[in-house]
Amino acid sequence: MDKLMKTAVRTLLFVIAACLLVWAVLPEWRIVSQGLLLGAAGGSMNAFLLKRRVELVTMSAAGGGSRKMGLGLGSRIATVLLVAIIAYRFPEEFSMPAALAGCMIMPFILLVAAFIHNKQKH
């Protein structure tokens, strides 16, 4: 899982760099790139929350810890809701569709990274 997260974070940094480049070069696309950046931040936070939750479940299944109840799905939904609220509150700064699409960048990157990692193993 750590190797996948490192690959995904590295790829996300390239996406963020591309968004910053678009923001700097194309002023008419600034709102869209800022929305993508906001969504990418929320999506990466969700990925780290999910990674932590998977580690807790793994430790619990291995018998190394007690079962912890929490708000796993709730916290991830709240993160996306926070991104949507920020984009809704500041429409002159962030594009709502771009912010919501940006929330899905990290899960897509993780899916592709896992697929490539599994293909290389076999």
Q: What is the pLDDT of residues 23-82, one digit of tens each?
A: 999 999 999 999 999 999 999 999 998 888 888 888 877 776 666 666 678 888 999 999
pTM of the model: 0.85
Query: What count of other Cβ atoms lies within 10 Å of the Cβ of residue 105?
Result: 22
H or E segment and range at residue 107? helix 105-121
Structure token digits, residue 23: 């923001």
Span 53-64, pLDDT tens digits: 888 888 877 776
Query: What count of other Cβ atoms lies within 10 Å of the Cβ of residue 27?
Result: 9
Classify burial at 15, counting beta carbons within 10 Å of its beta carbon; exposed 0-12, middle 13-18, buried 19 or more.
Answer: middle
Helix/strand/coil for 85: helix
